[in-house]
Amino acid sequence: MKKIFFLLLVFTSVSNFSNAQWQLCGLVPSTTRMAIKDTNIFVVTAGIGISLSTNNGNTWSTLSGISNRGIENVVVNGTKLFAGSGNRGVFLSFDNGASWVQTNNGLTDTNITCLAICGNNIFAGTFSHGIFVSSNNGATWSAVNNGLTNPYIKSIAVSGSNIYAGTSYFNGGVFLSSNNGVNWTLLNNGLQQEDVLELAIKDTNIFVAYPTHGIYLSSNNGVNWSQINNGLTDTNIQALKVCGSNIFTATVFDNVFISTNNGANWISFSDNWVGGHDINDFAINQVYIFAADAGGVWRRRISEIPSCIKEELVNSNLIVYPNPTMDNFTIDVSASLNIPATIEISNIQGQLLKTLTTTDTKTNIDVSSFPSGVYIVEVKTEKGIAVKKFIKE
């Protein structure tokens, strides 16, 4: 029976989606916002502060010095972390969250609604006093509100030298600055005149999410906007995030959607969603998509999402042999898949163990130091992802 079990594993692919599902990562309750830097996942937790996982959500630790500060958002800038509070301004950490300092000099509104990085500048959106900028890691802040006729800032997104601000309350809309916030221009042609929930940017495309009207797209720096709700069965948007060629959104009624064609069509991947709460934010790394809700942090493998794997890169294009193996195995990728490719090997718990880039269609990999068990190999090219399991004896 043991040999039969191994044979079944060898010919089973991770991209068999029938058993795909969202999984709860530990227990980090009431999560609202997330940020990812390499293998570190930072999660804002209501009433607690910020929690950190260094192993794809398997375990979490609460960062000291930032608890009970009303933290609502966090961004990563190299080795630095910036956290925005709903009542205490901005906090800065130089050591991956081990310690924090408050940096509010020049802020006339310490209710920070959003943070964004643009080059050497960090921008802080506030609840009622517009936008502030700091070019010295928050040591001093200056208001940059010329032309910003709505001071209620909801979201900030950066694309090259362009900075977009989404506003709320009266006559909400989107503003653009091309000179580090010195001047702002209102860009509302085709947009709803109400609260902007979220901004996201993919290449030259800017996406705006509304709480009740779905999602809008501009492909000309915000000059014109058009609604892109095809396939969305619920336009009450809760979260919006761009990762590579994929756009993710979540709606009020626990629906999760993905688009791989700039929002022209949306596909649901809510199957087996068991969260039971509204999703507040997404975060994505090379292995997982994470979702934050009131129940905690959930994750799902990127390779489990059907629409993320384009038909040009099906698993028949990927051969792994010998399988099982005791020391080495070869990855054979079809020459038609536009090498170079990135190869990632993870254990069955989702921990990334090895990453390499190849320009060859055949790559030999040494796994002699790996413990016996089942592993996952993902091969990523510009055409998509192919996934196989292999066994180390």
Q: 184 with 146: CB under 8 angstroms?
A: yes
As a whole number, mean pLDDT of residues 317-322 equals: 81
Listed residues 308, 325, 355: the one ending a domain? 308
Number of compact structural domains in the chain: 2
218: pLDDT strictly greater than 80: yes
Statement: the pTM of the whole predicted model exceeds 0.85: no
Q: Mark whether 108 and 197 lie in a shared domain.
A: yes
As a whole number, mean pLDDT of residues 6-30 equals: 50
Residue 202's domain is classified under what CATH number?
2.130.10.10
Residue 313's domain is classified under what CATH number?
2.60.40.3080
What pLDDT score was predicted for residue 18? Answer: 34
Q: Mark whether 241 and 327 lie in a shared domain.
A: no
What pLDDT score was predicted for residue 254? Answer: 61
Q: How far apart are CA 168 and CA 152, in angstroms?
A: 6
Q: 288 with 56: CB under 8 angstroms?
A: yes
Q: 282 with 250: CB under 8 angstroms?
A: yes
Q: pLDDT: is 198 or 1 the higher one?
A: 198
Q: How far apart are CA 392 and CA 368, in angstroms?
A: 8
Nearest-Å Rg of the Cα atoms of the chain is: 22
Taking only the tens place, the pLDDT of each residue in 193-214 is 778 989 998 878 899 999 889 9
Taking only the tens place, the pLDDT of each residue in 164-194 is 999 987 777 899 999 989 999 999 999 887 7
User: Of 64-68, 153-157, 372-376, where does the model show the most confidence?
Assistant: 153-157
Listed residues 278, 308, 338: the one ending a domain? 308
Q: pLDDT: is 30 or 174 the higher one?
A: 174
As a whole number, mean pLDDT of residues 11-40 equals: 66
Share of the chain above pLDDT 70, in %: 84
Q: pLDDT: is 163 or 159 the higher one?
A: 163
Question: How many other CB atoms are there within 10 angstroms of residue 61's CB atom?
Answer: 11
Q: Mark whether 78 and 175 lie in a shared domain.
A: yes
Q: Mark whether 204 and 217 lie in a shared domain.
A: yes
What pLDDT score was predicted for residue 17? Answer: 32
Listed residues 252, 283, 308: the one ending a domain? 308
**Which two tokens mark 386?**
């192919």
What pLDDT score was predicted for residue 4? Answer: 30
Q: Mark whether 247 and 362 lie in a shared domain.
A: no
* pLDDT-based confidence at residue 316 (cuts at 50, 70, 90): low
* pLDDT-based confidence at residue 151 (cuts at 50, 70, 90): very high
Sign of the C-alpha dihedral computed for residues 143, 146, 147 and 149 taken in this order: positive
Taking only the tens place, the pLDDT of each residue in 283-295 is 888 788 888 888 8
What's the domain range around 278?
20-308
Helical spans, DSSP H, in the chain: 2-10
Q: 289 with 357: CB under 8 angstroms?
A: no
311: pLDDT strictly greater than 70: no
Q: Mark whether 243 and 330 lie in a shared domain.
A: no
- Tell me whether residue 17 is exposed, middle or buried, using C-beta atoms within 10 angstroms of its C-beta: 0 to 12, 13 to 18, 19 or more: middle
Q: How far apart are CA 316 and CA 332, in angstroms?
A: 10
Q: Mark whether 322 and 374 lie in a shared domain.
A: yes
* pLDDT-based confidence at residue 97 (cuts at 50, 70, 90): confident
**How far is C-alpha 58 from the chain's CA centre?**
18
310: pLDDT strictly greater than 50: no
Sign of the C-alpha dihedral computed for residues 273, 54, 202 and 173 taken in this order: positive
Q: Mark whether 294 and 320 lie in a shared domain.
A: no
270: pLDDT strictly greater than 80: no
Q: pLDDT: is 79 or 207 the higher one?
A: 207
Q: 199 with 206: CB under 8 angstroms?
A: yes
What pLDDT score was predicted for residue 144? Answer: 96
Q: 288 with 14: CB under 8 angstroms?
A: no
Q: Mark whether 299 and 330 lie in a shared domain.
A: no
Cis peptide before 324 (omega within 30 of 0): yes
Q: Mark whether 136 and 174 lie in a shared domain.
A: yes
Question: How many other CB atoms are there within 10 angstroms of residue 70's CB atom?
Answer: 17
Q: Mark whether 284 and 377 lie in a shared domain.
A: no
Q: Mark whether 35 and 171 lie in a shared domain.
A: yes
